């Protein structure tokens, strides 16, 4: 039998009153003090979650890294490196391992990772490339595990440790330091060299584009190579560009230049519709910052002022000679980004490249500054 509309309304109203009374009783149980305690607990949980989400070293990450500028002799070991890294659970180390091979031997010889000494058997004890890779990966994986146990996640600290020995990451953790070339030099001089008999800090000449960029063209006798991570870095491309923050001109120049990353080199090109060659890209990008430069590299060289390599800063220009034509012909230009990288258009395309690698170092002319 259907209920009348009036009776239904009265019944609903009574039910609502009962509900309100129940809610009031429940709320009475939760006084203000309890609510404040509950709120504090929630805030604590949120803070812990935030810390967990940002824990680890601020210095670096393995994510997105790939190999670059690797020789064919090195690339022949890529499959072996990938297989060994997977078996040892360090797939993220593959680009760094290949770069280490490039620096150590260029992929040639029997001990391609120069890992013999890490076995305790001395140089030359490994005479098989695959055995060298197996041992080298094992050694680097051990360094990585130790570093992460100490709270360090900077891959370059681990790479430098491959040269210095595993205790370098322990040194960084104990001294609350982050890896840098200066810290590595101190460790080389104060720890490695004395342990092998060089207690007076004796040095020997070590000249290449990397050491010249730092303004320190020497290494310590028996001190390892404190530039090791910088050398390896030339062959690893980061997934993020990590552009240093420079002045407004550099930012404007790079904001424009970055639009064309990945484009192919275009001989004679100086606009987006034509594509870009090296000097065309420089001229166009600087033009967006209100700076007029001549069209070709030789003219840009003449229109800029040479500076000491140690005084270089983002936005300067890096010039090269003899990449074609006569040995002294200014034939290429790139935008200086940092101590190892430039942004330019060359045969491999437009993007970030290492002006300190073996090819560009052999053709290096100078770093020059645009005078506004």
Q: State mean pLDDT over 265-271.
A: 96
d(CA 159, CA 149): 16
The band of 40, judged by pLDDT with boundaries at 50, 70 and 90, is low
Q: Same domain for 137 and 76?
A: yes
Same domain, 203 and 340: no
Q: Residue 356 has what pLDDT?
A: 87
Answer whether residue 20 is part of any domain: no
Nearest CA among 95, 77, 93, 90 for reference residue 132: 77
Least confident residue range of 3-17, 67-81, 190-204, 269-283: 3-17
Tell me what percent of the residues of the chain surpass a pLDDT of 70.
78
Classify residue 221: in a domain, yes or no: yes
Q: Find the domain containing 301 and state its range.
A: 248-369
Co-location of 217 and 105 in the same domain: yes
Domain contains 243: no
Cα–Cα distance, 144 to 214 (Å, whole number): 27
Binned at pLDDT 50, 70 and 90, residue 8 comes out as very low
Tell me: pLDDT of 53 over 50: no
Dist CA 270 CA 294 (whole Å): 11
1 pLDDT band, cuts 50/70/90, is very low
In this structure, are 185 and 259 located in the same domain? no
Same domain, 70 and 219: yes
Q: Compute the distance between CA of residue 327 and CA of residue 176 in angstroms, rounded to an integer.
A: 48
Rg, Å, the chain Cα set: 30
Cβ proximity of 252 and 289 under 8 Å: yes
User: Total structural domains in the chain?
Assistant: 2
CB atoms within 10 A of CB 333: 28
pLDDT of residue 121: 84
Last residue of a domain, one of 194, 210, 237: 237
pLDDT at 47 over 50: no
Are residues 192 and 253 located together in one domain of the fold?
no
Mean pLDDT confidence for 227-251: 72
Do 113 and 218 lie in one domain? The reply is: yes
Would you say 237 and 306 are in contact if contact means Cβ atoms under 8 Å apart?
Answer: no
- 243-252 mean pLDDT: 69
Q: Which pLDDT value is given to residue 50? A: 37
The tens digit of pLDDT for each residue in 225-234 reads: 999 999 998 7
- Residue that finishes a domain, picked among 237, 265, 292: 237
Question: Do residues 313 and 217 both lie within one domain?
Answer: no
Q: What is the pLDDT of residues 12-35, one digit of tens each?
A: 444 444 544 544 554 454 454 555
Q: Which two tokens stand for residue 283?
A: 């001229």
- Do 228 and 87 fall into the same domain? yes
Q: What is the pLDDT of residue 31?
A: 53
Band the pLDDT of 170: cuts 50, 70, 90.
very high
Q: How far apart are CA 82 and CA 91, in angstroms?
A: 7
Q: Can you give the CATH number for the domain in which 202 is found? A: 1.10.530.10
Answer whether residue 45 is part of any domain: no
Q: What is the mean pLDDT of residues 162-185?
A: 96
Q: Same structural domain for residues 76 and 221?
A: yes
For position 65, what pLDDT does the model report? Answer: 59
In a domain, 60, yes or no: no
Is 185 part of any domain?
Answer: yes
Average pLDDT over residues 122-151: 95
In this prediction the pTM is 0.60
Indicate the residue among 207, 237, 267 that finishes a domain.
237
Residues 209 and 289 in one domain: no
| Cβ(238)–Cβ(65) below 8 Å | yes
Please give the backbone phi and psi of residue 331, each rounded to the nearest 5 degrees, phi first: -120, -10
- Tell whether 31 is covered by a domain: no
CA atoms within 13 A on the CB side of 51: 6
Q: Are strands 364-369 and 317-321 parallel, antiparallel or unpaired?
A: antiparallel
- Band the pLDDT of 2: cuts 50, 70, 90: very low
On whether residue 199 sits in a domain, the answer given is yes
Label residue 207 by pLDDT band (50, 70, 90): confident
Same domain membership, residue 230 and residue 122? yes
Domain of 363: which CATH number?
A: 3.90.1720.10
54 vs 32: CA distance, rounded Å: 33
């Amino acid at each position: 039998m259907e209920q009348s509309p009036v009776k239904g309304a009265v019944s609903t109203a009574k039910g609502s009153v009962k509900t309100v009374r129940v809610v009031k009783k429940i709320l009475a149980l939760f006084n203000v003090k309890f609510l404040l305690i509950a709120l504090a607990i929630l805030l604590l949980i949120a803070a812990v979650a935030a810390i967990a989400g940002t824990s680890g070293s601020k210095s670096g990450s393995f994510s997105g890294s790939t190999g670059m500028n690797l020789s064919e002799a090195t690339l022949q070991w890529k499959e072996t490196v990938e297989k060994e890294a997977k078996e040892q659970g360090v797939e993220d180390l593959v680009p760094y391992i290949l770069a280490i091979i490039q620096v150590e031997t260029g992929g040639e010889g029997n001990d391609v990772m120069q890992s013999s000494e890490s076995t305790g058997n001395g140089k030359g004890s490994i005479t098989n490339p695959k055995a060298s890779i197996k041992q080298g990966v094992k050694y680097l994986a051990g360094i990585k595990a130790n570093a992460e146990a100490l709270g360090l996640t900077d891959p370059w600290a681990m790479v430098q440790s491959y040269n210095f020995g595993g205790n370098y990451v322990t040194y960084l953790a104990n001294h609350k330091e982050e890896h840098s070339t200066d810290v590595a030099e101190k460790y080389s001089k104060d720890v490695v060299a004395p342990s092998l008999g060089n207690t007076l800090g004796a040095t020997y000449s070590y000249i290449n584009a990397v050491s010249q960029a730092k303004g320190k063209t020497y290494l310590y006798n028996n001190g390892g190579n404190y530039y090791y991570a910088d050398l390896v870095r030339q062959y690893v491309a980061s997934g993020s560009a990590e552009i240093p923050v420079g002045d407004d001109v550099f930012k404007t120049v790079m904001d424009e230049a970055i639009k064309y990353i990945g484009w192919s080199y275009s001989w004679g090109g100086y606009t987006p519709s034509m594509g870009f060659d090296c000097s065309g890209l420089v001229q166009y990008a600087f033009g967006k910052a209100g700076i007029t430069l001549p069209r070709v590299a030789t003219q840009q060289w003449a229109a800029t002022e040479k500076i000491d390599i140690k005084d270089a800063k983002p936005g300067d220009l890096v010039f090269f000679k003899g990449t074609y034509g006569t040995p002294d012909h200014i034939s290429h230009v790139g935008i200086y980004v940092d101590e190892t990288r430039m942004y330019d258009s060359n045969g491999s395309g437009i993007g970030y490249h290492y002006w300190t690698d073996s090819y560009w170092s052999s053709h290096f002319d100078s770093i020059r500054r645009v005078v506004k």
